[in-house]
Amino acid sequence: MKKIIILLTIFAIYITLFAGIFEPFGRFENFGLVNQNKFRFFDIGFYGDLTLQQSLFSTEHLLNLINEGKVDLNQLQQLVIGETLNGSLFSTIRIGKFSISPFVNLNSFGGLELPDEILSFIKNDIEINKTYSSSSTSFISLDSFLNAGVSFNFNGFFVSPEAFVPITYVFPENQVVNFEYTSSSTPPVMSLKADLSFLMYSPLLVENLVIDEKLIGIGVSLGYSSKNFGIAVNNITIKPSEVDTLQNIYASYSATYNGVEMTFDDEATANYIQVFETKQIEQIPEITAYVKANLFVDIGAAVSYKIDGKWVIGGSISKKLFFIEPSYQLIYDGSNSIFTHIIGLKSDFRILYLNTSIIISSNEFIPLDEAKPGIGLVVNFGLGF
């Protein structure tokens, strides 16, 4: 009995470590892939992924931080962090070659990048009678959308109209961060000033929120999906979301030291104000494509391109062994120069399937020593008949 429990435990851990690159949602979105589960009449499924990327510490220094529990500011590499989140719930009803798939999808992309001059000030010795200053008008990005729609599929071709609302959106053209440090020896005086501000929309910060037709955007995705090839054009905006209550987020800190009077004064503020201004928010259109081949092992490749210039390519290899299918994926984010390794396993019990995987990302191909690693998780499961 003990051996059986141990084997089941090992099997459960093994399952949680492994999944596939070709999913209806996520990095290479193609709604037509909901029909690749091979259920005859009906199924319901969930897809979710979360990736956290950081360039604060290298792998070596991050391990030291975890082991010792101490932050060494001298080991900071870059003041850069990022996140990707996707959660989707969908179902499919099939009648012959026709299928209909209602879905709800939440996706979020965010990042923060502060100027290198601030990092240099934190790490290096401060010189007297020298001014340190820096400014940036592009330091934060965040867009989160909730989508709900229906995908109509016939013989591999699909069209997916959807409604979307922004959950959080930072406008790229309305942001600034400033930093300045000055000092002198005669008289002994030090002054530090730092401030940031950006314009965003979030319904969580809107008083007396009213959800009307202006807030709801309309879009459509369309494409083709088969066993060996697929292409999709996603997030074509028909009607943008229109918001009229924004938030101007600001924060500041100032400190002054006077060596003559032996005084130290500092002040910190952080708040937001409502801005009554009408702006339109759209999702970024995206083109994705994939190819697959079934040889001794299954191999595949996929690509994603957004009209703002961001692109991602990936490849996978897998082998089906009875009811499980271990796989390895390599993905390269060309816009951010990030390599992503995904180790996964698909478990198929006919009426129930489970895909899970771990994600290891890095600015270098092998995330060791001086590489700046990130980590993530993908979970995809469903049932049907």
Q: Are 355 and 344 in contact (CB under 8 A)?
A: yes
| Ranges 53-57, 216-220, 245-249, 368-372: which has the least confidence | 368-372
Res 320: pLDDT: 86
- Per-residue burial over 369-378, b if 16 or more Cβ lie within 10 Å, else e, is eebbbbebbb
Question: In this predicted model, what pLDDT tens digit does every residue of 127-182 receive, in sequence order?
Answer: 888 899 999 999 999 999 999 999 999 999 999 999 999 999 999 988 999 999 99
* d(C-alpha 286, C-alpha 304), whole Å: 7
Q: Which residue has the tokens 């240099």?
A: 120
Question: In this predicted model, what pLDDT tens digit does every residue of 68-114 receive, in sequence order?
Answer: 888 888 889 999 999 999 999 999 999 988 999 999 999 999 999 99
Res 13: pLDDT: 33
Highest mean pLDDT among 50-54, 262-266, 321-325: 50-54
Q: Are 362 and 374 in contact (CB under 8 A)?
A: yes
| Ranges 61-70, 115-124, 315-324: which has the least confidence | 61-70
Q: Sign of dihedral through CA atoms 9, 14, 20, 25? A: positive
Taking residue 101's Cβ as centre, other Cβ atoms within 10 Å add up to 23
Could you tell me the two tokens for 23? 């999913």
111: buried, middle or exposed (CB in 10 Å: 19+, 13-18, 0-12)?
A: middle
Res 232: pLDDT: 96
Highest mean pLDDT among 40-54, 228-242, 248-262: 228-242
Res 9: pLDDT: 34
Answer yes or no: is pLDDT of 322 > 80: yes
* d(C-alpha 23, C-alpha 354), whole Å: 12
Question: Which pTM value belongs to this model?
Answer: 0.85
DSSP state of 370: T
Res 2: pLDDT: 38
Alpha-carbon dihedral of residues 16, 21, 22, 27, nearest 10 degrees?
Answer: 110
Could you tell me the two tokens for 166? 């922004």
Res 17: pLDDT: 32
Q: Rounded mean pLDDT of the chain?
A: 88
**Across residues 257-268, what is the average pLDDT?**
84
Give the start-end residues of each E strand in the chain. 42-54, 80-95, 98-113, 132-136, 140-154, 157-184, 189-201, 217-225, 229-239, 241-243, 246-258, 263-275, 279-281, 286-294, 298-306, 311-318, 324-333, 338-348, 352-362, 373-384
Answer yes or no: is pLDDT of 224 > 90: yes
Q: Which residue has the tokens 């692109």?
A: 311
Res 22: pLDDT: 63
DSSP state of 28: T
Helix, strand, or coil (residue 9): helix
Our measurement of the distance from residue 25's CA atom to the centroid of its chain's CA atoms, rounded to an integer in Å, reads 13
| Ranges 210-219, 257-266, 324-333: which has the least confidence | 257-266
**Across residues 245-270, what is the average pLDDT?**
89
Q: Are 339 and 364 in contact (CB under 8 A)?
A: yes
Sequential DSSP letters for 331-360: EEETTTTEEEEEEEEEEE-SSEEEEEEEEE
